Chain A
Amino acid sequence: MKGRLLQVVPIVILSTFVVFGLLQLVPGDPAYTLAGEVPDPETVQRIRKLYELDQPWLLRYGSWLWSAAQGDLSSSIYTREPVSEMLWRAFPHTLLIVVYALLLATVLGVVLGVIAAANAGRAVDTVITGIVSIGISMPNFWIAMILVSTFALGFQIFPATGAIAFSKDPLEAIRYATLPALALASSGVAEVTRQLRSTMVEFLGATHVRTLYAKGLPMSNVLWKHGLRNVAVNLLTIIGLQFNRLLAATVIVETVFAFPGVGGAVIHAATNKDFPVVQGVVFLLVLIVLAVNLAVDLLCAAVDPRIGRR
């Protein structure tokens, strides 16, 4: 555990350094963007000095890292908004749709996966695996647009754009997050269903399952109690990976729904080389991914104590 926590430091330094380095490779100088549409060289020089863009990039990275180590993630070079303030404002929105999508993907995926496994090779299995395959095949943004056309513009049940803070009005926040979460969840449902189906089919073919049936246990008991417990480690690993994938997928879905999360913010920041914002988002995401991976490992060890002893 202590070793895992110590890994966080080099991983954060390495990932933020790589991202910072990649941003330097992107052509374009933010001083020109900041200086306006027809900048004169004097204005550009003045801007470069004012925003410390005239410093060598290694020095700027070092300065950023030193501030970050002291809890100051610096400010956006365009809006002057402190990055920590931006993350505090935007990340809860992103987290809401990711958790919501993960819940949907897990609940639907588990139910459909178990049903498909219990009916392996039959028509129900074919229909379920066929339908969930569509979720993988179709891009998120396209599903998002279909959802908006149907449920926001057609039936007018859910809003087409925007968000409400969960802390302000939880029910409304969930209503606003429903369509983005559904769009995000579509591929997750497919992934969980297919993975669960295959591990569950394997489980149902095992000799000890025959014993369970021989003892007279009903099928539902075998599937939902023994089956799920046996595939739990696989399931938790998939959920952990899904969480990380969903975080990345928010970038496009947030744009379609004008959802004010970090996805939209990072696109804007990356295209404009607003490195403090990009670094701040990367810093946060790396911490979250590491925390999720750690949580998954701990949960797996709790479900299967043999893992913890290895």
Chain B
Amino acid sequence: MTCNNRTNSSSKNSPTRRDALRSVAATAGTMSLSLLPLGTWAQGARPTRGGELKVALYSAPSNLDPIAGTSGSDSIILDTYAETLVRFDEETLRPTPGLAKSWEFTQPNLLVLKLQEGVKFHDGTPFDAAAVKFNLERGKTDPRSRISRDLSPIAAVEVMNQHTVALRLTGPDVSVPMILADRSGYMNSPAAVKQRGDQYERNPVGTGRWKFSQYTPNQSVVVERNEAYWQPNQPYLDRISMQVITDANTALRSVISGENHLTLRVSPQQEDLATKSAGLVVGNLSSGAFYLTLFNYGKPPLNDRRVREALSYAINRNAMNAVLNRGKGSPAWGHFGSTHWAYDRSLENIFPHNIERAKKLLAEAGYPNGLDLEIIGWTDPDSQRRVELMTEMLKPAGVRLKPTLRTLAEATQMFAVEKKGHLYNGLWIGRLDPSLSLKFIFEKQSFLNPEKADPPPGFDAALLASTTATNPDARRAALQQLQRIIVENALCIPLYYDRFIWAHHSSVKGFRMNSVGRPRFDNVYIEKA
């Protein structure tokens, strides 16, 4: 598979009118109160350079060193000052050129990357093949690395010349380019890493449009324009100040009162208030993240497929979406949203809400009088509501749920390590590469497979096929097959897709959310009054 040096919209000097219109078409269906700003842009307004964008972040960065972070939302910050070898297209979620301008599998297990030339880290040192080798090896071996598992398909990194690097893989694996578009692909300055040691995570150096400037733990991150950025006429903003406000309502108030320009999370309950606030643009987008209930399917009675199926039939996903997401999300049947390239329409409604069927299956499994199960969930109000709703939905089928609510870390530990409970209610964000996402949940050695139960027949072969298929159609087919095995064996209950809701001042232009919740500020500018 070869990827040519296609220039994506973000790498152009400035958005053209066509880009603007395309953006309008992509977002018009989901935006409210947005006619004025989008209309203005569509009329050909040129982006203005300068200004400071103030953003309310819903989560503090877990770490500013890309290899040491643990939170998916870190990427919003990391993408400002660091860049990945491969980027992802925000609409299709396919790999596009980043710091690697092209890549090619010259052999099934040899991936050759050609790097952009003339790129420098913010400390003035060159970005080259040696820097790529340093970063990937550091990600695999540094004791602080949280990405060593993600990088496990890479056996060795070889420098071919200053701007070409070869990745020798442990086996054929087409998921590697997308792995390099995720946390594992961020490039740090080797000189800065060596010089700053443990303190690097508080003072990172990348190649991004903005330079890291200031970090106040759990409070704020500030980045400043990189005047020597390698792509011409980028970026538009002089400065981005990101303030951590974990409470979504407080964050919205900070935007309404004008202290911030943008909040990346508005609660569904506050969406109407935001929409009615003068001068605000409110948008929403179906998220690739979905709520699900995992099963400990190695443990009785959930090791019986009929019991798992019964639970799947007893859940009314549409009602859940209506109650918890105001009917604006969508029920989840598989593991990819309807806009994802690996979405499988044939799985829709595979377990329709059917209490009689659920009771029959339970009786066949030896539970004619129902059964008692323990479910572990999180303590936040939304999660509590979700568990309560599930408890009520399962009652008519004779399933009596006993809930235990804990913080995320405690709940995960209880379910995955201490092997407590039968069900685990959570949110799955996953990885950019779909094979990696499914592997991390369902493979035999998965952390989320507490009993290390064998996956269903065909799973391993389908997973392998999904990482070795060399053309997009074959890969889609392999992923759909893998997903079908997971869904038909009822290894979990996908519930419904989350929605991203955000709000910003009408002076903020060019902002765009994507389904993985990693908005970039590359084309954002502030329109001067």
A residues contacting B by CB (< 8 A) are: 26-30, 32-41, 43, 46, 49-50, 76, 78-81, 86, 89, 148, 152-153, 156, 159-162, 255-258, 260, 264-265, 268, 271-272
Contacts and interface: CB of A to CB of B under 8 A. Distances in A.
A43 B417 CA distance: 14
B143 interface: yes
B441 A162 contact: no
17 contacts: A27-B413, A28-B406, A34-B70, A35-B70, A37-B429, A38-B447, A39-B447, A79-B202, A153-B253, A153-B256, A156-B258, A159-B259, A161-B257, A258-B244, A258-B247, A260-B219, A268-B218
A255 B250 contact: yes
A176 to B, nearest CB: 10
A272 B246 CA distance: 14
Interface stretch (B144-152, B187-195, B330-338, B388-396): B144-152
Contacts of B368: none
B148 A159 contact: no
Contacts of A81: 202, 217
Contacts of A37: 70, 72, 412, 429
A172 B62 CA distance: 31
**Residue among B72, B217, B408 with max Cβ neighbours from chain A (10 Å):** B217
A43 B253 contact: no
B96 interface: no
Contacts of A260: 216, 219
Contacts of B34: none
Instruction: In the A-B complex, list the 7 residue pairs whose CB atoms are closest, starting with the nearest.
Output: A28-B410, A79-B217, A160-B257, A33-B409, A36-B70, A161-B254, A258-B245
Contacts of A32: 409, 412-413, 417
Interface string B388-422: 00000000000000000011111011100100000
A157 to B, nearest CB: 11
A160 B410 contact: no
A36 B68 CA distance: 9
Contacts of B447: 38-41
Contact of A258 (B72, B243, B440): B243
Contacts of A265: 218
Interface string B249-264: 0110110111110000
Interface residues of B, number: 48
B137 interface: no
A46 B147 CA distance: 13
Nearest to B65: A80
Given A160-B259, A162-B243, A28 B254 contact: no
B253 A161 contact: yes
B446 interface: yes
A80 B257 contact: no
B62 A256 contact: no
B243 A27 contact: no
B217 A50 contact: no
A265 B199 CA distance: 21
Contact of A35 (B146, B219, B254, B446): B146
B417 A27 contact: no
B198 A80 contact: yes
Given A79-B218, A89-B216, A38 B441 contact: yes
Given A27-B410, A80-B198, A162-B243, A50 B70 contact: no
B205 interface: no
A148 B244 CA distance: 19
Contact of A80 (B202, B246, B429): B202
B407 A28 contact: yes
A29 B414 CA distance: 10
B245 A161 contact: yes
B142 to A, nearest CB: 10
A164 B470 CA distance: 56
Contacts of B242: none
B110 interface: no
B250 A28 contact: no
Contacts of B246: 255
Given A35-B146, A46-B143, A28 B413 contact: yes
A26 B379 CA distance: 14
A167 to B, nearest CB: 15
